Structure 1
Amino acid sequence: MLSTTPRTTIKKASHKAAVEQEKLYQIIDQSLIAHIAVNEAQGPVVIPMLAWRVDQHVYIHGANNSRLIRALKKAEQSCLTFTLFDGWVLARSAFHHSAHYRSAVVFGQFETVEDALEKDRLLNHFIEQIAPGRTQEIRLSNARELAATSVLRIPLSEASVKISNGDVKDDLADLDVPVWAGMMPYRTVIGPLKAAADLHESIPTPDYRAPYGDRWHEHAHQG
């Protein structure tokens, strides 16, 4: 169960709130992009960042001199959002058009991962999450590259999830309007892989479908 705090209590359309922690994990693991809010001298700013989850934390990485990384290292309160857009809901009236989506909001403070070996492990974990087995084949980060990279993490102890997946909600008076109504689904399809222009022809194409299930292009086309 997700924790309930004043910041995670959903007030608008509260019936769309989800409390299962697994729902939170699924949204983060499929999105892999967090929009992160910080307050700067010029005002608030939201920056999208690659993000990945390991157990109960979300991790981000960036250059040491990145303005976002510098701001987050001050351990001030921040907020992350993740969103998966699943499609349009097309109603009989303009007012009741809406969308299907899954979203998560995480509140808290970032902390810096200082140990170089742990940074290396976490960065490799992200690569493995994207393409299983790849860290056994590529050149791994060297000491200079690790020193130039900051890895930060935030706990998933304060988060909320909102899911919209309902049917068309037309007014009774509009049910006789002679227009099609229903859902227009969106699907994220992964693959097929596209080789780099300078890739030697003798190198075989790897198989990275395992993490993606029915989002892998071959399964998606069959659906």
Structure 2
Amino acid sequence: MNTNSAPTDRTRIRRLAELASYEQTSLHAVIDAAYLCHIAFQDAKGTHCIPTACWRQGEYLYIHGSNGGRLTKILTSGIQACVTITHLDGLVLARSAFNHAMNYRSAVIYGCFEKVPDEADKHQALALFMEKLAPGRQAQCRPGNDKEMAATTIMRIALNEAAVKIRTGGPQDDDEDMGIPVWAGVLPFAQVHTQPVVDSLCNVATPDYVREWVK
């Protein structure tokens, strides 16, 4: 277990604790590899879990939303939220059905979201989001205008109460199952960049970041 700070009662991983990490570098790596997160919260209508785009800046995870959206209204009210990110890296096939597993990288973040009120900070945050999607894109596309920015809320949650859980490697079979004549190993998963599809009305040269996408 790698640790930078002691886990809280909410973040302490008890099941397979040897897979836990409370190290900020591990947390940053899981977030930076993700385009989506899931945000769980509760209101008068029940418990909800909403997927949304995310990115990291320093020690905060950022999201954005419409000013009138339910997610925005609830998260900016100071309610407690739980953010999760998961990357599936492989199916682990063991000799025993109950020893099958998955290889994964996951993060859980607890806390309250806060609104980013400063206009300059909002512009900077969205520029970083665009750079995450496609490095170099921000300098080429039209930035948000005053009307678009006024209708958008940027929110962030601190990364000071979080835990990471990572499993790698092959199956872990019991000694008595090692003689079972069945294939054992890992079926890997990977995120693959496929060939870009140009818009039919696009008549500009292909930029470097698009040409490099499949590489």
Shorter-chain TM-score category? over 0.9
Q: CA RMSD in A?
A: 1.6
Q: Which amino acid aligns with 2:90?
A: G
User: Would the alpha carbon gap of residues 85 and 192 (structure 1) be closer, same or farther in structure 2, given more than 3 Å must change?
Assistant: same
When the two structures are aligned, how many residues end up with a matched partner?
Answer: 212
The range that moved more, 131-140 or 166-175, is 166-175
* Superposition map of 1:182-193 within 5 A: 182-193=185-196
Q: Which has the higher helix share?
A: 1
Partner of 1:75: 78
Selected match of 1:171 from 161, 171, 174 = 174
TM-score (norm 1): 0.90
Partner residue in 1 for 2:205: 204
Matched AA of 1:5: T
Structure 2's unaligned 5+ residue stretches are none
Report the Cα offset of residue 93 of structure 1.
Answer: 1.5
- Mapped to 2, the partners of 1:101 and 1:134 lie a distance apart of 30
The 1:148/1:15 distance shift into structure 2, 3 A limit, reads same
1:33 to 30, 33, 36: 36
Q: Quick check: 163-172 or 27-36, which moved more?
A: 163-172
2:173 corresponds to which letter in structure 1?
D
Q: Which amino acid letter does the alignment assign opposite residue 88 of structure 2?
A: F
Partner of 2:128: 125
Per-residue displacement from partner, 1:165-197 (whole Å, max 9, x unpaired)?
132111222111111100011000124322112
State whether residues 3 and 157 of structure 1, in contact with CA within 8 Å, keep that contact through their aligned partners in structure 2: no
CA contact (8 A) 1:3 1:158 kept: no
Provide the residue aligned with 2:103 in structure 1.
100
Change (3 A) 1:141 1:132: same
* Percentage identity across paired residues of the two chains: 42
Match of 2:214? Answer: 217
Residues 217 and 178 (structure 1), Cα distance of their counterparts in 2 relative to 1, 3 Å cut: farther
Gaps of 5+ in 1: 219-223
Counterpart of 2:13, as a letter, is: I
Give the aligned partner of residue 90 of structure 1.
93
1:55 is aligned, of 50, 53, 58, to 58
Is contact 1:113–1:151 with CA below 8 Å preserved after alignment?
A: yes
Q: Secondary structure at the match of 2:84?
A: strand
Aligned-pair CA distance for 1:209:
7.3
